[in-house]
Structure 1
Amino acid sequence: MSEDDRPAELRRLSEQLPRFMRLVHALKTQLAKNDNRDRAALVLLFPLARLGPLRQGALAELVHADPSTVSRHVAALVEQGLVHRVADESDGRASRLHVTDAGHAALETLRRERESHLDQVTAAWDDADLAALTTLFGRLLDDIATTLPGTDAGSLPTEPREIR
């Protein structure tokens, strides 16, 4: 790509991102209508399972969500038996969130559902195109994450590509 093409490609990308976000929102809305689970709460299981027990505040910061929203979601996860609180060894007044066996099972179900949907969406793609998208999309997400205000790029844990 020449220097002259870069601004046009950036414009195309900047126009595609809002469409992507709208489609993701529409998909989440459709799934919520057909599902009695609190999918927003379930998504918190991914970083907890990947990174291990976390304090609720650290989880909110990690997922870039309002602490009160995360608190509400965590309460739902605890009530459903998907997460339990364990006293923090370094500060007994605080607790860390641990994923239960039921939480791991719910996480695996959610993961299979995502993968099944993506398998349907990309069924006509060849393996090279799927691999290229996966690599480049992961790179884009990692690079966007490093630009978030108040985020130390070196401290951001990157998500494994298979759960993005």
Structure 2
Amino acid sequence: MSTTHVAPGPVDPLDRPAQLRALSEQLPRFLRLVQAAKTQLIRADARDRAALVLLHPLARLGPLRQVALAELLHADPSTVSRHVAALVEQGLVRRVADESDGRASRLVVTDAGHAALETLRREREAQLERVTADWDRADLATLTRLLGRLLDDIATTLPGTPDSGLPQPGSAGPDATREIR
């Protein structure tokens, strides 16, 4: 199903309420398109890609208990449990004893898990290269900077956000101490 999007008309850059309204109207479309792109990737690859989302915080933060991972992601513990089981079965994550409590375990990304993350990164970058091929370098840099700023500011408004305070790979500058996911 193909839908046509009608771009909003020009908005006075000095009219902050109109700018916020235009942005708020674009966000649901952005989220729908991101979901559609994720769905397309899932269909194109039989791996349990939904579970791969768990690899990102584990790779950035190091070994975590499953319950802590669910809390960080604001996710249902039973869903995280199912995804963790799939990752363990695929050899992307392994359980190791928690040094502070021998009854518990922490999740560690394996070499195969890091390779899967690298594959995902390359796929995302290839998709973005196709989408932005005709973009001016300055426009791409501006979008990247402003999207990072928006995500950082959204993250600061959410309690227990997993990506606040983490360094962004390849970033520089004083705002680079925050993670963009």
TM-score, reference length from structure 1: 0.89
Aligned to 2:40, which of 30, 52, 61? 30
Mean CA deviation greater in 82-91 or 51-60 = 51-60
- Unpaired runs of 5+ residues, structure 2, are 1-12, 171-179
Deviates more, 1:114-123 or 1:64-73: 64-73
The alpha carbon displacement at 1:152 in A equals 4.8
Determine the C-alpha separation between the residues in 2 that align with 1:124 and 1:161: 25
Aligned to 1:66: 76
- Where 1:75 maps in the other structure, the secondary structure is helix
Change (3 A) 1:25 1:12: same
Query: Higher helix fraction: Structure 1 or Structure 2?
Result: 1
Question: 1:90 offset after TM fit, Å?
Answer: 0.7
**Matching residue's letter, 2:164:** L
What runs of 5+ residues in structure 1 fail to find an aligned partner? none
Aligned partner of 1:160 among 146, 168, 172: 168
Q: Taking structure 2 as the reference length, what is the TM-score of the superposition?
A: 0.81
Cα distance per residue 1:63-97 (max 9 Å; x no partner): 22111111111110000000000011011111111
Give how far 1:111 is off. 0.7
CA RMSD of aligned residues (A): 1.8
Count of matched residue pairs: 159
Query: Over residues 21-64 of structure 1, what are the superposed CA-to-partner deviations in whole Å (9 max), with x where a residue is unaligned?
Result: 10011111111221101111112111111111111111112222
Q: For 1:33, give the aligned amino acid.
A: R
Q: Is the 8 A contact 2:92 2:111 kept in 1?
A: yes
Counterpart mapping for 1:1-164 below 5 A: 1-2=13-14, 5-148=15-158, 151-152=159-160, 156-158=164-166, 160=168, 164=181
Percent sequence identity is 77
* Shift in CA distance, 73/26, structure 1 to aligned 2, threshold 3 Å: same
